[in-house]
């Protein structure tokens, strides 16, 4: 049986979504054609050889699910992405789509998903209490928790109830230590709060001693571990380090650099002399960002600070009009300066999101034909 694009490769303690299966699917013309034939036939309810907007809706919904978006209609922020996906299929018009068009657009969308996963692989972790229990019993438990106590003890001395103080300590634990993100409301209401209720609500004299804190925190963590054993939590974990290496590779390839810079300025407004305002540098940098291994502006706060500092260094915000070659020279100077800062101080970013839908989703578009 052909593998689904959503299938995953095992890696250590988790399963890695790195886009390789999608690349294999789209790259095999015979297999991909069979995949498209099956899906097109499944969606073409009236059997007229074309897909109407209504017939495309299940496909759009399934692509959204594969991208990790909430259900259509539940968030204005994600609904515009659903609209863009539908517009890709219909070319922005209310018309029917034939199989060739369906195949081309589906290929583009899947390859885009694969490129994103290759750049930032997602590790699917099943958090079932074992790692948390192991952490509690490990030699590193005491020193790491004393370090956390030092960080947060002022909150207890300032009047925070002891139960909330323990919660604050739980929030400091990571998925590597076996703790799912407490920022997730489901985790908080179904795992953390019930676990803390079993630990009692009494307070202790202030300041709390290390012995008391370690003893009570251990009870709470073991209670959380037991709840996780009964209700495991699936977490999608991704991490990325921006160290300037992708920029260095780009700068060392003049042909690729020129092509990337030309694409970045192609759609920028120009005056009658062909000059471009420096106020468009941020827009151009956002277009260039994927090729330079940078996140979109606004996505990573630490990166925005680095870029903001570089913009000040090159007077990027003075609003002057410059020729195309000067604009590209400034762009090159900006990414070169960003590269040097990242080489000196790399920025690491990790995200953890609780997966509330089962991995074997009920979607049909991205499942293999039987």
Specify the higher pLDDT residue, 240 or 167. Answer: 167
Q: What is the average per-residue pLDDT within 292-311?
A: 87
Weakest-pLDDT range from 120-124, 188-192, 262-266, 307-311? 120-124
Q: What is the average per-residue pLDDT within 137-159?
A: 84
Selected from 1.10.238.10, 2.30.30.240, 1.20.1260.10, 2.40.50.100, the CATH number assigned to the domain covering 17-119 reads 1.10.238.10
- Asked whether residue 8 carries a pLDDT value surpassing 50, the answer given is no
CB atoms within 10 A of CB 119: 15
Residue from 220, 211, 127 nearest 165 by CA: 220
Q: What is the average per-residue pLDDT within 56-75?
A: 71
- Asked whether residue 310 carries a pLDDT value surpassing 90, the answer given is yes
* Residues 33, 35: Cα–Cα separation, whole Å: 5
| pLDDT-based confidence at residue 162 (cuts at 50, 70, 90) | confident
- Count of CA atoms in the C-beta half-sphere (13 A) of 130: 6
In DSSP terms, which residues pair with 126 in a beta bridge?
Answer: 234
pLDDT of residue 74: 61
Weakest-pLDDT range from 38-42, 115-119, 123-127? 115-119
pTM reported for the whole predicted model: 0.56
* Residues 328, 254: Cα–Cα separation, whole Å: 13
pLDDT of residue 28: 86
Weakest-pLDDT range from 48-52, 203-207, 226-230? 203-207
Residue from 237, 234, 228, 223 nearest 167 by CA: 223
pLDDT of residue 315: 86
Q: What is the average per-residue pLDDT within 172-198?
A: 90
Average pLDDT, the chain: 81
Q: What is the average per-residue pLDDT within 116-124?
A: 70
Write down the domain spans for the chain. Answer: 17-119, 127-238, 244-345
In DSSP terms, which residues pair with 122 in a beta bridge?
Answer: 17, 238
Contacts of 235 (CB under 8 A, 6+ apart): 124, 125, 127, 175, 180, 181, 352, 353, 354, 355
């Amino acid at each position: 049986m052909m593998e689904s694009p959503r299938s995953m490769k095992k890696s250590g303690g988790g399963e890695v979504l790195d886009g390789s299966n999608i690349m294999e699917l789209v790259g095999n013309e015979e297999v991909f054609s069979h995949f498209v034939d099956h899906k097109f036939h499944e969606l073409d309810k009236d059997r007229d050889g074309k897909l109407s907007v209504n017939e495309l809706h299940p496909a759009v919904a399934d692509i959204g699910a594969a991208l990790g978006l909430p259900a259509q209609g539940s968030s204005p922020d994600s609904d515009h992405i659903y609209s863009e996906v539908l517009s890709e299929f219909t070319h922005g018009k209310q018309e029917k789509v034939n199989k060739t068009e369906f195949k081309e657009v589906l290929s583009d969308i899947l390859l885009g998903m694969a490129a994103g996963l290759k750049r930032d692989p997602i590790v699917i972790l099943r958090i079932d209490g074992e790692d948390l229990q192991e952490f509690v019993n490990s030699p590193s438990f005491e020193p790491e928790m004393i370090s956390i106590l030092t960080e947060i003890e002022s909150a207890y001395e300032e009047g925070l109830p002891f139960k909330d103080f323990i919660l604050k300590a739980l929030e400091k634990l990571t998925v590597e230590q076996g703790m799912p993100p407490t920022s997730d409301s489901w985790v908080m209401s179904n795992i953390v709060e019930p676990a803390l209720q079993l630990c009692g609500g009494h307070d202790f004299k202030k300041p709390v001693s290390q012995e008391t804190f370690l003893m009570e925190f251990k009870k709470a963590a073991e209670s959380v571990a037991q709840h996780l054993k009964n209700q495991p939590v699936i977490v999608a974990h991704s991490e990325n380090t921006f160290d300037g290496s992708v920029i260095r590779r780009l700068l060392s390839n003049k042909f690729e650099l020129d092509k990337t810079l030309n694409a970045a300025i192609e759609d920028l407004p120009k005056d009658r002399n062909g000059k471009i305002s420096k106020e468009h540098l941020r827009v151009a940098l956002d277009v260039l960002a994927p090729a330079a291994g940078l996140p979109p502006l606004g996505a990573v706060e630490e990166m925005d600070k680095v870029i903001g500092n570089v913009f000040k260094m090159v007077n990027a915000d003075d609003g002057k009009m410059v020729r195309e070659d000067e604009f590209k020279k400034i762009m090159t100077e900006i990414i070169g300066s960003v590269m040097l800062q990242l080489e000196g101080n790399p920025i690491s970013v990790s995200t953890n999101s609780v997966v509330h839908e089962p991995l074997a989703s009920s979607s049909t578009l991205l499942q293999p034909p039987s």
